[in-house]
Chains A and B, each alone.
Chain A
Amino acid sequence: MTKTEDRRKAGSQNPNRLARLWANPASRALLALVLVLALGCVFSADGAFFKPGTHRDALRQASVYGILACGMTLVIIGGGIDLAVGSVLALVAVAFSLMSIHWGWSPWLSVPLCILLGSACGSVAGGLTAWFRIQPFISTLAMMVFARGLAKTISGGMKVSTAVPRPNGTFENVPVPHVFRLIDSRIIGDNLTVVTLVFLVCVGVTWLALARHRWGRQLYAIGGNEDAARLSGVPVNLTKILSYGASGLLAGVAGMCQAAQEQQGDPEAGIGYELTAIAMVVIGGTTLTGGRGGIGLTLLGTLTIGYLEKTLSVNAVPEASRLMLTGAIIIVAVLGQRRGR
């Protein structure tokens, strides 16, 4: 009886090849991306969609969000959520600009410090969740508000740009720091931005951690069933805190990229970015309930939203309509992801 039952269940999971393909979230995420790309080919704005520069720019614009989405994927797989990433991005962007532009610090000092700052923000939120049993929604919401306030405090509420204020009230223009130019430069014959490269490195590292390291497996287990994980000897608190710390770290990386791209540290930057990152993760097929998903899916989700935005903008769709369309397409994509589950 058991035998046939299992066969039946296994059978209903994959009765034939097409259904098996459809049951795999990766193929569904890929389908969404292909549809968006097809949309771009049809509405190519007189061939603008086929120019390499368009793709470079689409990727450049999606990269900062994508880096946040990598961290978000970790936290969501562990059964949590991180609302603080947008604010942490702004905090690190401000801190990085202060160190690089105002104080003229070497990137060998400022980059590690910024990474440390981002991880610290994430770890504090993670610690509140793991040790004090505060719901992740609340602890990261608090960190979101706190980090925004800290960003405004250290920047004095103003954008930290190359126009450095002097004590006598005048502004002095300083050159853009070398590290900013480096991050915002293009490689491979102008066809790829360094920011996109950073995003791809983040994808690779988080993939390794999730798919090839013990920690990643334990994170999946916590997201899938925290009690069972604890009773199987998984260090639940530490694993969770590390996931939030990693999310903060990646938000810090994204913040430095953002600062370099804008050549300034804006304390108002990154508002609403956490929601875009969550949308990218969910469209990819990682479930908000935890325990299921992966970085590859998030890469597909990031590209889907990135290309959607680009297609709409090259066709000069006004921002208001663009937002409404993006909202609608997120729902369609997520409904598609839920089929076959």
Chain B
Amino acid sequence: MQAAPSARPRLVTMTGVTKRFGSVTVLREVDLVICGGEVLILAGENGAGKSTLIKILGGVHTDFEGTIELGGRLVRPKSPLEANALGIAVIYQELSLVPSMTVADNIFLGRSLTRRGLVDDRAQRRQAQRLLDQLGIEIDVNQRVEDLPIAQQQLTEIAKALARSAQVIAMDEPTSALNAPEVERLFGLIRDLKARGCGLVYITHKMEEIERIGDRITVLRDGQHIGTASSAELPPAKLVQWMVGREMAEQFPRHAGQVGQERLRLKRFSVTDRHRAKPTGVEDVSLSVRAGEILGIGGLQGSGASELFLGLFGAFGSNVRGEAWLNGGPLRISAPRAAIDQGIALLTNDRKATGLVLPLSIVANTTLAGLPRLSPGGWRQPRRETEAARLLGQTLSLRAASLDMEVGWLSGGNQQKVALAKWLQTRPQLLLLDEPTRGIDVGAKREVYELMNTLTAQGIAILLITSELPELLALSDRIVVMHRGRVTGEFNRKQATPERILEAAMGRGNPKSE
């Protein structure tokens, strides 16, 4: 199974790494070998465990089973700082810079150069400048990080990681915010590092990058090591096969319903958010969904699908372009309230952060979105609210000791049911579901699937985002695939195969022909 890691010297050997979060096992007996002078690609679907694995290497997760061997001795980094001292540098997806400090200060953060107990600013600036020059990065070290464009922040992050002459460098999707010339510069940097004998681990969802810089590829799926091969032995088709696996369980009971009139149509729809530095990245999306239909939206991290939902729902205000029709009439996009009033509901992908109000009761959460209708004239009618929550709780087989219980006390599955109940309470015609089964157990998942069948049978249209490919394939009547904010493929049930979808999601599909 383990392909010979060529003749290059082994720098790091991780053996039998197992990691659990609570009762969920995210990594199971994973082996990883990093050699000097090569780029090891870590590939896998969302949630395969790639980021967790390099966070263990980088000293972020310290509670795991298994061993890490570095240069012939066993190590166990207990903090990012310690990993750094061992010569391991990790560049995470989330930038770890302090925005209000200068580039030089950030590069030396946590290990400042001092003179007589005080920070030696001049020495730091000088050394930081020398480092950036070596790397060929043109950034003024005196600038504050918050004043830099995202791409330069990313390069600063890389410089920071390299400031301690690391031997092993891991990068988690470093190009997600970079444009083409900047990506070229990064690849040049990677080539230099390779030539110097460094070992690199590179996580990416882009097939093009894998083909260009990968020497060896390790594939993870559902937290398990599927295999490692040199990139010559692993052409894209085979790689995708490794990533998705073969089994396509029949555990998803989709009964396609009667498809009715068109509910939603988007034409060249884009979402722009001027409040954020990063573009939300939804460009020229065209799609349509009919009553009683589930349209799945496939894509990997950064596909822009969630932003599409938020934009449609009015979460970015009216910062949208293009045309949107609901039930044949123009869709007004201004604020969530307007969307709700027009019969749209959005189940967000993070129920704790954006879905539920955890300190409030089940009744309060269930009735939050539909409150104006439940309390005409402003005065609440507690009995009516409790009745509405009780009925929806029954429909969704919600299990709770009392309806007055804080939702924070519920399990993930039951919390998700409360979030769903809130939206069903508004009697929507179009349901936007973003990861409706994330972090809930198998039984609750099944109940969510059955609910989706029931709802479509009633003529509700569903747009579904899910990062689990089998789920997407089994539940969707049609599938639209997005990559970096654009539609890169559209498939009906017969055409849709895991391989085709993943290829489109990685930007290799043929753009949808108009």
Contact A228 to B357, CB < 8 A, known contacts A3-B399, A233-B336: yes
Chain A residues within 8 Å of B422, by CB: 232
The complex places the Cα of A221 from the Cα of B368 at a distance, in Å, of 8
Contact B336 A10, beta carbon cutoff 8 Å: no
Chain A residues within 8 Å of B380, by CB: 212-214, 217
The complex places the Cα of A200 from the Cα of B360 at a distance, in Å, of 27
Contact B401 A231, beta carbon cutoff 8 Å: no
Total A residues in contact with B, Cβ cutoff 8 Å:
30
0/1 interface trace, chain A 220-233, chain B, CB 8 Å (1 if under): 11001101111111
The complex places the Cα of A225 from the Cα of B414 at a distance, in Å, of 18
Contact B369 A224, beta carbon cutoff 8 Å: no
The answer to whether A173 has its CB under 8 Å from any CB of chain B is no
0/1 interface trace, chain B 392-430, chain A, CB 8 Å (1 if under): 000000011110010001110110000000100000000
Chain B residues within 8 Å of A228, by CB: 348, 353-357, 368
| B336, B359, B379, B414: most-surrounded residue (chain A CB, <10 A) | B359
Contact B379 A220, beta carbon cutoff 8 Å: no
Chain B residues within 8 Å of A214, by CB: 371-372, 375, 378-380
Chain A residues within 8 Å of B339, by CB: 233
Chain B residues within 8 Å of A231, by CB: 313, 315, 336, 346, 348, 354-355
The complex places the Cα of A235 from the Cα of B372 at a distance, in Å, of 11
Chain B residues within 8 Å of A7, by CB: 401
The answer to whether A46 has its CB under 8 Å from any CB of chain B is no
The complex places the Cα of A292 from the Cα of B357 at a distance, in Å, of 11
Chain B residues within 8 Å of A213, by CB: 375, 378-380
| A217, A232, A234, A235: most-surrounded residue (chain B CB, <10 A) | A232
Chain B: number of interface residues, binned into ranges = 35 or more
Contact B346 A229, beta carbon cutoff 8 Å: no
User: How far is the CB of B360 from the nearest CB of chain A, in Å?
Assistant: 5
Chain A residues within 8 Å of B443, by CB: 1-2
The answer to whether A178 has its CB under 8 Å from any CB of chain B is no
Contact B357 A221, beta carbon cutoff 8 Å: yes
Contact A225 B371, beta carbon cutoff 8 Å: no
User: How far is the CB of B343 from the nearest CB of chain A, in Å?
Assistant: 12
Interface residues of B in 330-365 (CB under 8 A from A): 335-337, 339-341, 346, 348, 353-360, 364
User: How far is the CB of A78 from the nearest CB of chain B, in Å?
Assistant: 12
The complex places the Cα of A94 from the Cα of B322 at a distance, in Å, of 57
Interface residues of A in 6-52 (CB under 8 A from B): 6-7, 9-10, 13
In-complex Cβ contact of A6 among B313, B336, B357, B399 (8 A): B399
Chain A residues within 8 Å of B360, by CB: 220-221, 224, 291
Chain B residues within 8 Å of A1, by CB: 441, 443
The answer to whether B444 has its CB under 8 Å from any CB of chain A is yes
User: How far is the CB of B174 from the nearest CB of chain A, in Å?
Assistant: 28
Chain A residues within 8 Å of B371, by CB: 214, 217-218
User: How far is the CB of A19 from the nearest CB of chain B, in Å?
Assistant: 14
The complex places the Cα of A1 from the Cα of B355 at a distance, in Å, of 23
Contact B441 A2, beta carbon cutoff 8 Å: yes
Contact A224 to B359, CB < 8 A, known contacts A10-B401, A230-B336: yes
Chain A residues within 8 Å of B401, by CB: 6-7, 10, 13
User: How far is the CB of A227 from the nearest CB of chain B, in Å?
Assistant: 5
Interface residues of A in 210-253 (CB under 8 A from B): 212-215, 217-218, 220-221, 224-225, 227-235
Contact A232 B359, beta carbon cutoff 8 Å: no
User: How far is the CB of B361 from the nearest CB of chain A, in Å?
Assistant: 10
Contact B368 A229, beta carbon cutoff 8 Å: yes
The complex places the Cα of A213 from the Cα of B410 at a distance, in Å, of 26
The answer to whether A5 has its CB under 8 Å from any CB of chain B is yes
The complex places the Cα of A228 from the Cα of B441 at a distance, in Å, of 23
In-complex Cβ contact of B411 among A9, A217, A291 (8 A): A9
User: How far is the CB of A20 from the nearest CB of chain B, in Å?
Assistant: 11
The complex places the Cα of A7 from the Cα of B405 at a distance, in Å, of 12
Contact A2 B413, beta carbon cutoff 8 Å: yes
The complex places the Cα of A220 from the Cα of B411 at a distance, in Å, of 22
Residue of A nearest to B356 (CB): A228
Chain B residues within 8 Å of A291, by CB: 357, 359-360
Chain A residues within 8 Å of B355, by CB: 228, 231
A and B contact pairs by CB, cutoff 8 A, 8 listed: A2-B414, A2-B444, A10-B401, A10-B405, A13-B409, A221-B360, A228-B357, A234-B337
Report B's interface with A, CB cutoff 8 A: 313, 315, 335-337, 339-341, 346, 348, 353-360, 364, 368-369, 371-372, 375, 378-380, 382, 399-402, 405, 409-411, 413-414, 422, 441, 443-444
Report A's interface with B, CB cutoff 8 A: 1-3, 5-7, 9-10, 13, 212-215, 217-218, 220-221, 224-225, 227-235, 291-292
Closest 8 CB pairs of A and B: A10-B401, A224-B357, A233-B337, A291-B359, A232-B369, A233-B340, A225-B357, A214-B375
